[in-house]
Structure 1
Amino acid sequence: MVDTAGTGAGAEGVGASLEPDGPSNSELVIFELAPQEDSGSDTLGRYRYQAEVTAQDCLAMLTQESIDSVVCEWHEDFVVVRTDGSVELVSVKHREGTQGPWTLVELCKSGGLTHLFDRWCACECAANVRLRLATNAALKPGKDNAGMLARMCGPEPEVTAGQTAMAEEVARQMLKVRWKQPYPNVPDTPVCKKDADIRIPAGFAERVVRFLAALEISCKPPHRESITDVNIQRLLVPAVEQLKLAHVDLENTYRAIVDRIERANRDESDRSQLAVYIADPGRVRNRSQIQQRIGRRRITREILRHEVVYTSVQLPTFPRGQAPVVAPGGAKLRRKLRRGRVPSDEAAFAERLRSAWYTTWAERRTGLAGDETDLLNLSTDVLEMAFDCRRHARAQVVEGGEFGIKMNDLLAERLKADALPSPPRIQLSNLHLRGLAYQLCDECHFFFSEPFDADEEAS
């Protein structure tokens, strides 16, 4: 069995009192509390399977606005941060088929249940903290076994009869685990030969009941051999279609996303700083280092979009299957090209490219908040190239001479997708970039001559 969640000795306990101030991610209790230092996380938490299970929530984030981000290797294998201010700690457990289904005893001992409980307690059992145990293996059926436990979990459990007895059994199993593994939030009780002789400390069973209400036991993750294909077909393909992305290399995009998650899992550049943070009860002096570490482990929607890999297929100037749309406006562009002495046929071609940009951007934008930033970054790069072409055009004519024709020639020669400082998020041809340049000119961001009042000339 591959155990992908750490189970080492803890360094902080229930005594930490940190209340969340609001829905801001940086203020959530879980991100005020440093994870435990444990060798299990260091050695076993880097398996590809864990990264691919994490990728399931990351791919869902592309189309679900309810997910804000995913933080890798923080307390558990990863944490899903939601826009409503809640977080979900997820423990990933892969089990080989030869080992059979999980039993209740195994879930508590090696299945990560006790570790999840300990982390939940360390987060002060906060109401905004949810828990998920994700495993590829089945759960053993039976009245007092793992299958029945899963049906009793969650805020609206499928089965309610016998919950108290189940919570007491889980409590006893956790107390047994505590005899050999020093979880700080599980009471230390005397060793007994029989489970029935274990005395449950006052209030502990009640806390386990609350824990089960915050827990989901999921058997949805596929086996290691099939998870790649399942994730691509069930999650990545629908996301690409919903975002209206064309010519996406699915396999390389998926591989890039999982590689990015693995890099976040491997971040251990400030382990000494983390130790100081744990040793300082105030946790104020080192808060900035902890937040920087969280930042390196956080996967956002924007990060995922930058990992999309496109094929080398040449994009058509106008989207196929759609009637060409004439971009609104254009009067100022025509006046500027005319003032710059650009020939009328080239000016008409500029109008066509502006419409090509307009229809392509309308089709391929995602509709998410990041579109405006993407457009601003792309426009800034195109403007920089336009100004560079203007400087060179001016240098090639006599002082005070007309340079619009030369500037337009340089735009056609130099404004290339592979020449931009940063590649566009969506696939664009060189003609689309020129269309964007003409649109920016129509919006009066630059001229093909010395500046003039384009509105006044119209009158």
Structure 2
Amino acid sequence: MTPEEDSGSRTLNRYRWQSRVATRDLLALLSLDLADRQRGEDPPHRVLVSERHEDWAVFNGERWWLVSAKHLDSDQGAWTLSTLMSDGGIPHLYRNYRRLPAAPGCRMVTNNAIRSAPETRLLRDLCQLEDGADATPRSPMSSEDRDGLNLTLARYLMLHHKDAGLSEEESQGRSSNVNHCKPNSDLLASSTRFLDSLLLDTNIPGRRSIIDVGPLRYVKPVLHRLGHTSTEAEAVWEALTGYVEQSMEDQLSTEDAGLTDLIRSFSTRPQDLGEEAAEKRTVTTGQALTVIERALRRPQVFLAPPLPFEHKVSVKMAVGKLESNAIQRAEDRMTVWRKTCAAEVDDSPGNHAQLQEFSDELEDRVDDLHVELRNEGVEENLFGTRLWHSATRLPPESFPPLPFRLTRTLLTGALADASDQCRVWFTPYRFDADAILLGSSGRATNAADEDGGE
């Protein structure tokens, strides 16, 4: 993959992450609707309005918030005050906030923490919505600290005056060094109001994990309120995120501050924007409920067609109700285990005997865990997950020595290899894994054909 292709892939994945975060907000609004109805109350108008992939507004009756979502990859570290004002887009959020006649709340959403450093401590103490991402408890803020934080914010707004939408008058006193910027009283007053409205929501899963976390964390509670099990949570999650993503893809005719123009259109309906543009950008809780009902009726339409199994261990884990991440890890680490054995176990005296002793011990340990789970009365649908979790966390140093150092990765691969050779099962019973393995390719092809016909 070229650097340009990698950059494009990252951008696309961030866009999809942002649409999933917006879907989380939409599900939260729908949950409020359902709670109102359960109390016998008529819910207020609740709606999600999007500009582009990074910005949207959440309306809950008379209350509403501007939201800006910024993903930070793990190799970029935590947010600093400087990056919050540049890559984090705080000045752009300020610009949208100030363009609206009625001051909304503002929320910056991110998957990463605010760095624990003197320069960001005050911002974190004042604005961070949840402190779970940072183990440091919040500290009370004095009026002097608050004034100092507001001065720092105003200076950064001057440094990024174009993104913040500052006028020539407000930009007077600007310097290329943030500490030398001298904001006037009007800008200080405006930044104070913005700071009062600002929340930093830093406890969001990253772009890889939110795909797996979303169905259970965000969809499951809504399905339970609707009287459904979480069986089709993944299909509902994919259907809703796709619907929200579509609302984010149509560009407004006004690229500059298009979200604020769209919000104004709710009351003024300007001719240059038009109702059609507003409708494309708007997702109501009623529409969300319709999408959920559609996904519950035909979940297979919204799920990727099943991939054919490549190994018997994958079949056994799938039947044992283990999820795709665990199956992928088993396949990958089984390959590592086999390559390591091939490279390190030769015909030297005792090598094969060591390997056999280790394999026997591993199988005995798994048998012990199996019996413990049966004695606990673990439900069948949790049995495989519990067995895999317990077996892969056995201390590597407690096993007989091998011709090479045993790590957790290699232990996981050895467990997968033993299962692939039908010496370990993740169900309380045995079944014909070979038949499922041979038949999976045809079923996957048929499923793909059926979905393509929708």
Task: Please give the alpha-carbon distance, in whole angstroms, between the structure 2 residues aligned to 1:154 and 1:96.
Answer: 20
Q: How many residues align?
A: 261
The amino acid that maps onto 2:140 is V
Alignment of 1:160 onto 2:141:
yes
- Residue in 1 that maps onto 2:283: 299
Instruction: Select which of 80, 85, 88 maps to 2:58.
Output: 80
What is the CA distance between 1:246 and its match in structure 2? 5.4
> Runs of 5+ in structure 1 lacking a partner?
1-42, 314-459
- Residue in 1 that maps onto 2:218: 235
Task: Please give the alpha-carbon distance, in whole angstroms, between the structure 2 residues aligned to 1:295 and 1:312.
Answer: 26
Task: Please give the alpha-carbon distance, in whole angstroms, between the structure 2 residues aligned to 1:300 and 1:158.
Answer: 39
Task: Please give the alpha-carbon distance, in whole angstroms, between the structure 1 residues aligned to 2:191 and 2:206.
Answer: 30
The amino acid that maps onto 1:105 is S
- Residue in 1 that maps onto 2:152: 169
Secondary structure of the residue aligned to 2:171 is coil
- Residue in 1 that maps onto 2:24: 56
Instruction: Select which of 68, 93, 106 maps to 1:131.
Output: 106
Q: What do you get for the CA RMSD once the two structures are aligned?
A: 3.5
The amino acid that maps onto 2:160 is V
The structure where helix makes up a greater share of residues is 2
Instruction: Select which of 222, 225, 229 maps to 2:205.
Output: 222
CA 1:201–1:45 in 2, change beyond 3 Å: closer, same or farther?
Answer: farther
Secondary structure of the residue aligned to 1:62 is helix
Task: Please give the alpha-carbon distance, in whole angstroms, between the structure 2 residues aligned to 1:228 and 1:296.
Answer: 25
The amino acid that maps onto 1:93 is K
TM-score (ref. length: structure 2): 0.51
- Residue in 1 that maps onto 2:71: 94
Instruction: Select which of 167, 175, 196 maps to 1:192.
Output: 175
- Residue in 2 that maps onto 1:149: 123
1:2-49 Cα distance to aligned partner (Å, 9 max, x none): xxxxxxxxxxxxxxxxxxxxxxxxxxxxxxxxxxxxxxxxx8798101
Deviates more, 1:133-142 or 1:72-81: 72-81
Q: Is the 8 A contact 2:171 2:183 kept in 1?
A: no
Secondary structure of the residue aligned to 2:32 is coil
Q: Is the 8 A contact 1:59 1:236 kept in 2?
A: yes
Secondary structure of the residue aligned to 1:64 is helix
1:320-350 Cα distance to aligned partner (Å, 9 max, x none): xxxxxxxxxxxxxxxxxxxxxxxxxxxxxxx
CA 1:248–1:305 in 2, change beyond 3 Å: closer, same or farther?
Answer: farther
What is the CA distance between 1:268 and its match in structure 2? 2.9
- Residue in 2 that maps onto 1:310: 296
User: Which protein is bigger by CA-based radius of gyration?
Assistant: 1
Q: Is the 8 A contact 2:122 2:141 kept in 1?
A: no
The amino acid that maps onto 2:146 is Q
1:190-240 Cα distance to aligned partner (Å, 9 max, x none): 553543322112221122111111010110211111112222111211111
The amino acid that maps onto 2:280 is R
CA 1:76–1:165 in 2, change beyond 3 Å: closer, same or farther?
Answer: same
What is the CA distance between 1:171 and its match in structure 2? 0.9
Q: Is the 8 A contact 1:109 1:173 kept in 2?
A: no
Task: Please give the alpha-carbon distance, in whole angstroms, between the structure 2 residues aligned to 1:220 and 1:61.
Answer: 18
What is the CA distance between 1:289 and its match in structure 2? 4.1
Q: Is the 8 A contact 2:232 2:296 kept in 1?
A: yes
What is the CA distance between 1:114 and its match in structure 2? 0.5
Alignment of 1:68 onto 2:36:
no
- Residue in 2 that maps onto 1:210: 193
Task: Please give the alpha-carbon distance, in whole angstroms, between the structure 1 residues aligned to 2:221 and 2:268.
Answer: 44
Secondary structure of the residue aligned to 1:307 is helix
Task: Please give the alpha-carbon distance, in whole angstroms, between the structure 2 residues aligned to 1:45 and 1:73.
Answer: 18
Q: Is the 8 A contact 1:144 1:166 kept in 2?
A: no
CA 1:200–1:93 in 2, change beyond 3 Å: closer, same or farther?
Answer: same
CA 1:221–1:46 in 2, change beyond 3 Å: closer, same or farther?
Answer: closer
- Residue in 2 that maps onto 1:121: 98
CA 1:168–1:44 in 2, change beyond 3 Å: closer, same or farther?
Answer: farther
Task: Please give the alpha-carbon distance, in whole angstroms, between the structure 2 residues aligned to 1:144 and 1:152.
Answer: 13
The amino acid that maps onto 1:299 is V
- Residue in 1 that maps onto 2:270: 286
Deviates more, 1:129-138 or 1:206-215: 206-215
Q: Is the 8 A contact 2:174 2:182 kept in 1?
A: no
- Residue in 1 that maps onto 2:165: 183
CA 1:90–1:188 in 2, change beyond 3 Å: closer, same or farther?
Answer: same
Alignment of 1:264 onto 2:242:
no
Alignment of 1:112 onto 2:86:
no
Secondary structure of the residue aligned to 1:144 is helix
Work out the percentage of aligned pairs sharing the same amino acid: 24
